[in-house]
A and B are shown apart, each in its own frame.
Chain A
Amino acid sequence: MGHTLLTRHEGRSIGSSSIRILGVAMLLAAFSGSSRADQFVIANLSVTFSGDEVREVYLGEKQFAGEQKLVPVDNTAIQGLFLSRVLRMTPSRYETAWIKKSFREGLAIPSVRSSNSETLEFVRHTPGAVGYVVADKPPAGVVVVTKF
């Protein structure tokens, strides 16, 4: 019977071991999850342009890829991340830039999608569409322009 009983010291030791194991497992899960998710700039299969041109596309400086009219769309799910990493702008500056562009040149402000799946579907089905998404792996059925 005495073998089934643990001393106070042993109980504390096993309890803390369990917490450590659980902590390590959670950390592994967290890291493995974040390492799988990447941010991709994607385009419809009708479009080819380089990653260096993404900024110009999203500021209305580049409107065509060859003969194809480009249709950039914003994805609110990761718009802040995209603007800071790729365009190096705050959302308010981005909005102001497009108001000026629209007012000066009559350009259409990029429409907005509210999720990764919505953005992906729009880009897949719209000739000239350009978008950005978070995904575990490069999305299929679109051109992956660059990662950011």
Chain B
Amino acid sequence: MRRSTEFARVAGALAGVLLGGAAWAATDAERIDTLEKQVAQMEATRPARGDEGLPLHGFLDVGGAYRSNGGPRGFGVGNLDFYLAPRIGDRIKGLVELTFEVDSATGELETDLERAQLGYVFGDFATAWAGRFHSPWGYWNTAYHHGAQIQTSITRPQFLEFEDHGGIIPAHTVGLWATGVVPLDAGKVSYDLFGGNSARIDLNPPTTPASGELNPNQATATNHHGSVGFNLGYVFPGVFEGLKAGLHGYTATIDDNAVAPNSTRVRFGGGYLVYLENDWEILGEYYEFSNLDLSGGTGTHRSRAAYLQAGWTFGRWTPYARGEKAALDQTDAYFAQQAQGGSYDRVVAGLRYDLDPRAALKLEANHTRFTDRIVSSFSEVQVQWAIRF
């Protein structure tokens, strides 16, 4: 009996405390609610973070290299890459990528307007771009651009390098580009259609064969030729999420400035496969060339190039490896006149450590074997510290 009385007393006291607390809470909640509304109104009238002006982003990398054949040794500055993405309303946008880099041969500072493109967005299904953009063949060329920090490896596959780094395919196009994604019942289809000025090969000097470098002809089509290309991809759904497969093709008439100029109708097609889920990054691309000699009458020349790269991320570490091979017909003036147009194969192994989501350290070794022109090989070790900001 006594216990039940005491129980009632304790329960009564507890109820009193709870009720009193509830009354206090109701008063306080009203105050907080009023205050929250005032803060929300103030916040709603100020610009959100990210809306204040035009943000300037960029990438910077520094590093070093040791090459076995007397090539580059020591430290160096890589790229300082600024990019801007101005927007005018919901449908007009721009993309500018301005790069400062040190020429590895001369040590001179070079400036390149790598991308300068203006776009109109019709919807998810179509965006039209005009200007200078990265040619949307394959996967790599429009995935990493000049941002070393977002690229797992230090190096690009040699045959996909930018023109001024010895690339043998026009990495930039100056012209028009339509791109979009169309959802299907299962998965999505992505497409790119592009066309513009044809590139040219600048020999340096014109009297020296095999000294050429591709020039994307960004002022105008000095050779009065054009280029067109496409990229058609399929994004897998469901359990295959992260997998994308695609086909690509490109054709252009490309001349050089030799004393007796060569003109080639360059044509290539191929495919790619990428997998980017579950901490894996697997990339593979294949290019098959069928180039027609328009000036020398030597007919059609076939060449091919491919790479396969795989990396797996655990924690902050990403070990990766890549194999690449280019078998390029040296009787084809298009390849024969380019300084880096020789056939080769290369194996690459590397380790990336993410100090921070915006900063990475990379260590990479490669062995390269040249299989025509001058048969030789070299090994190289590179380190890179890359950030984005």
Contact = CB atoms under 8 A, between A and B. Distances in A.
B7 A17 contact: yes
Nearest to A13: B3
A147 interface: no
Interface in A103-117: 103-113, 115, 117
B2 A122 contact: no
A109 B50 contact: yes
Given A64-B124, A118-B39, A96 B150 contact: yes
A121 interface: yes
Contacts of A63: 121, 123-124
Contact of B150 (A73, A103, A118): A103
B14 A112 contact: no
A82 B10 CA distance: 43
B6 A14 contact: yes
Contacts of A118: 39-40, 43-44
Interface magnitude class on chain B: 35 or more
A18 B94 CA distance: 68
A96 B145 CA distance: 15
B40 A108 contact: no
B147 interface: yes
Max count, chain B CB within 10 A of own CB: residue among A10, A103, A112, A120: A103
Contacts of A103: 57, 83, 145, 147, 150
A6 B39 CA distance: 55
Contacts of B117: 106
A113 B48 contact: yes
A114 to B, nearest CB: 8
Contact of B48 (A25, A69, A96, A112): A112
B150 A100 contact: yes
Interface string A4-17: 00100010011001
Max count, chain B CB within 10 A of own CB: residue among A18, A92, A106, A118: A106
A102 interface: yes
B95 A69 contact: no
A121 B145 contact: no
Contacts, number: 96
Given A25-B14, A25-B18, A122 B85 contact: no
A32 to B, nearest CB: 12
Max count, chain A CB within 10 A of own CB: residue among B3, B90, B145, B147: B90
Contacts of B147: 103
A3 interface: yes
A121 B41 CA distance: 7
B43 A17 contact: no
B143 interface: yes
A99 B388 contact: yes
Nearest to B123: A64
Interface string B339-376: 00000000000000000010000000000000000000
Interface in B74-90: 83, 85, 87, 90
B10 A18 contact: yes
B357 A92 contact: yes
A62 B124 contact: yes
A38 interface: no
A69 B90 CA distance: 6
Nearest to B48: A111
A117 B41 CA distance: 10
A99 B40 CA distance: 29
A112 B83 CA distance: 21
A6 B87 CA distance: 79
B36 interface: yes
A1 interface: no
B142 interface: yes
Interface in A1-51: 3, 6, 10, 13-14, 17-18, 21-22, 25
10 contacts: A17-B10, A63-B123, A63-B124, A99-B150, A108-B87, A111-B51, A113-B48, A118-B40, A120-B40, A122-B48
Given A61-B181, A62-B124, A96-B150, 5 more contacts: A21-B10, A106-B94, A112-B49, A115-B39, A118-B44
Ordered nearest first, which 4 A-B pairs have the shortest CB separation?
A: A111-B48, A69-B90, A92-B357, A106-B95
